[in-house]
Amino acid sequence: MFSQIGIVSAVNSKLVEDTIQEVIQTINTTAAAALIDDRIRAVNLDGEFNVCPLKTLPETCDLIISIGGDGTLLQCAKLIFPNQVALLGVNLGRLGFLADLSAKNVNKDLTAIIQGDCAMEKRVVLGCEVIRDEKIISTCDGLNDIIVQKWNSARLITLNTYVDGKFLHSQRGDGLIVATPTGSTAYAMSGGGPILDPRIDALALVPICPHTLTNRPIVVPDSSAIEIRVATERNDQSRVTCDGNSVQEVMQGDKIRIFRHQVSINLAHPAKHDHYATLRAKLNWALDP
């Protein structure tokens, strides 16, 4: 199913190096070719592989393997978008909601995935435009979430939110999270938002520490055009972040427009992948029966 397989990782431990080595050796037992991110070429690796510049991997490969945690996989998602390249995560992090291939089962599961015995899943990507004086001053894309939040201040910020041009609410608090189903298990979950099944075409709007206790999370269709207007009087208090990365400091009167991209990220999972089993295991809900 896959012939050119890229390996991306930030090498910072012996465990990561050993996992990269096992991935290369597994690929070498198939008809596929291994290409590694040029940031890890200094590692002493055995086997057959080519070294490629990180930015060229999405143009060369049909599968990218992220070795690390969910943070590393989010970086890979940003790297490959909007190329239609499959993305697979080997989890060496803590939770691993996205990077769900266990390092202990790399050889068996990765061989099956390369040969086509896998589950493919499309995940929504959000686009964002920051508008000032009717001009776009910044853009970003997010697999997890787009967040407008207070910055460099202990003061509350005021945000006015519109959905499809209709006024939803005016909120004073620490900010607002717009999360995809993928991001519903990230910051949005910590803020009390709902966990969305990845098959649902929806977004969660989750207030961050709202000063009005009746401000609650709300779920809207992912086809909605969301606009957040900054009503805070001070201009150094709020900022837009995308998948945890700071994008743009925003000022009073700025508009943040958020929308669903037509192109999705393709996640590859082992064939036995079960989203609910992942939730049970990561959130300690119950032991498997």
Active-site positions read 70
- Distance of alpha carbon 273 from alpha carbon 157, whole angstroms: 41
The torsion region of residue 72 among left (phi > 0), alpha (psi -120 to 50) and beta comes to: alpha
- Distance of alpha carbon 74 from alpha carbon 12, whole angstroms: 18
In this structure, how many other beta carbons lie within 10 angstroms of the beta carbon of residue 11?
16
CA distance linking residue 266 with residue 81, whole number of Å: 10
Kindly state the helix (H) or strand (E) to which residue 263 belongs, with its residue range.
none
What phi and psi, each to the nearest 5 degrees, are found at residue 210?
-65, 140
d(CA 54, CA 61): 11
Please check whether residue 146 is in contact with residue 83, taking contact to mean a CB–CB distance below 8 angstroms.
no
* Helix ranges (DSSP H) in the chain: 14-28, 57-60, 70-80, 106-114, 187-190, 275-283
Q: How far is CA 128 from CA 242, 248, 270, in A?
A: 9, 11, 32
Q: Are 59 and 90 in contact (CB under 8 A)?
A: no
Closest CA to 30 of 116, 118, 92: 116
